[in-house]
Structure 1
């Protein structure tokens, strides 16, 4: 657009991040694709674009004439599956996710509509409610249960394998490749590996089927478009694995905002849809949730490996440090969620 205002670029704490946005040819192709897709729907971009650059995504907010803003998102190669996954989820669980306006799954590009109020903003504006996470997690668990039959199809979209029996091998790779760990760190982690193997075997034996694990479900990853309604988004860290691993991040977010006393109720709200009419006991489910909350740290560690190619230096060091932090959290005591 000849009259396009200068882009407003936000790099956060990652001034040195390497993203494809810096390449004019890529930028022109990506924005051209987004504008053609909007034009095909009778929409026209107007005003400055707001660009958010991170080592793991390029996000562009576009003002659209006579319409709510839309977002273009590009993922790095290791997270490029998000575009196709978002399209599939809109078919399988349309009431629980955003329906993309367009996707290019080959290039990992998505064009997304406004989802309403971000849940973090809703929580910040309202009075403190220690039960605030309970209903979103019930609905999230319901969605995971619906997605159980689609687990293999989700894997076929390129979503990484995070099932319990795959986690020890993933752990080994992360420990070996992490540049922030010294020899003593690696020794301690490898010495604790038998505990990890036992936890994985016990979790797998619970009989809860694999599903989609968001792996980063904090209060900035869901919308609250209306009372009691929630839409989950941002699937770039996702795994196919034990669904209860998803509890780790929202439990930490709720603890930070409201304190540890909220955790038993939050856990039980999430577990309620998994009781299967009494075929699983609360004690069994709570034990599984405790194990999964530990093992979910591997998914968080993996997320820091899904960065744009060329990421190194200070930014790469941040990723390695975060990765190492989550590896250590695997064996933290006491566990975030007790088994009782």
Structure 2
């Protein structure tokens, strides 16, 4: 299949995590599917294969003779929809996402092209400023706006539907999250306010759409100045779209300080103006969705890692708790 090609495996800090890659027959089948897919396109692997194993995915970089590398990705059951979702997004919002080379939806596999430089790497080289963050959230919001007619189709692909009015029940399901007793008391004291916040958010007239739920600078390619490609949809839900803003806005604040936040908010809201929505209503919706986004992100850890053990169990429990505690923070907008 790959002959004597060297294979380098990176397990990061999850040395004890069990992944499908550890099963030789699965490994042979998965790589065989990827190589056969390339062969049908007249392509062949060439060079060192790099494998990145994490509790949430198996990611394999396959160098290809005469062109950029391609990436094989396998998702766990909780995010097995990602390949099919990416394929559908390439039809609905072309140019905003990667177009897969192939998808095996039943097995949760996808073969993806290289997307170019990560925005994170562009930032590290000092080649991006506040205006790039504004372009990012504006383009992402435009894609979300275009996806609002497709929410039923998205949930049919297996993406969880989490309308704002269901978030109090999500909070209740997360009550077992490991927390300091003081923090648990603070969260439980907040619980009576959740239904009112959720009802108000639902009443402000913004339809549900796709929420990436983890849109940081390592989940976005910037192949050219002013252009962005969004990827890694394994945490995605169908919910209030404005919940997506909190993650990139926090990252931008780390780089440029709090003064960037109103600019990002207004850039994000541009595609949502009109349809009888006032600026005040939209800004109020951003404020509410920012806080409530903590629930969607915390629930993703519970959904994606129901049987995690060892290092993965500790890390995911800690990450889920950090997300949940963001519910206590007053939104900075």
- Please indicate the TM-score interval, normalised by the length of the shorter structure: over 0.9
> Which residue does 1:146 correspond to in 2?
146
Q: Which of 282, 293, 296 in structure 2 is aligned with 1:296?
A: 293
> How do residues 259-278 of structure 1 correspond to structure 2 at under 5 angstroms?
259-276=257-274
> Which residue does 1:325 correspond to in 2?
322
Q: Secondary structure at the match of 1:27?
A: helix
Distance 1:309-1:48 versus aligned 2 partners, 3 A rule: farther
1:17 aligns with 2:17: yes
Q: Where does structure 1 lack aligned partners over 5 or more consecutive residues?
A: none
Q: Secondary structure at the match of 1:133?
A: helix
Distance 1:128-1:66 versus aligned 2 partners, 3 A rule: closer
> Which residue does 2:53 correspond to in 1?
53
Q: Is the 8 A contact 2:2 2:45 kept in 1?
A: no
Number of aligned residue pairs: 333
Q: How many angstroms apart in 2 are the aligned matches of 1:326 and 1:268?
A: 25
> Which residue does 2:249 correspond to in 1?
251
> Which residue does 2:226 correspond to in 1?
228
> How do residues 91-130 of structure 1 correspond to structure 2 at under 5 angstroms?
91-127=91-127, 129-130=129-130
> How do residues 138-177 of structure 1 correspond to structure 2 at under 5 angstroms?
138-176=138-176
Shift of 1:5: 2.4
Shift of 1:30: 0.8
Distance 1:198-1:308 versus aligned 2 partners, 3 A rule: closer
> Which residue does 2:217 correspond to in 1?
219
Shift of 1:214: 0.5
Q: How many angstroms apart in 1 are the aligned matches of 2:41 and 2:305?
A: 31
Q: Secondary structure at the match of 1:325?
A: helix
Shift of 1:10: 1.2
Q: How many angstroms apart in 1 are the aligned matches of 2:4 and 2:143?
A: 41
Q: Secondary structure at the match of 2:36?
A: helix
What is the TM-score when the length of structure 1 is the normalising length?
0.94
Q: Which has the higher helix share?
A: 2
Q: How many angstroms apart in 1 are the aligned matches of 2:28 and 2:70?
A: 18
Q: How many angstroms apart in 2 are the aligned matches of 1:85 and 1:99?
A: 11
Distance 1:96-1:4 versus aligned 2 partners, 3 A rule: same
Q: How many angstroms apart in 1 are the aligned matches of 2:207 and 2:126?
A: 36
Query: What is the root-mean-square deviation of aligned Cα atoms in Å?
Result: 1.6
User: Where in structure 1 do 4 or more consecutive aligned residues deviate above 6 Å?
Assistant: none
Q: How many angstroms apart in 2 are the aligned matches of 1:253 and 1:19?
A: 30
Q: Secondary structure at the match of 1:132?
A: helix
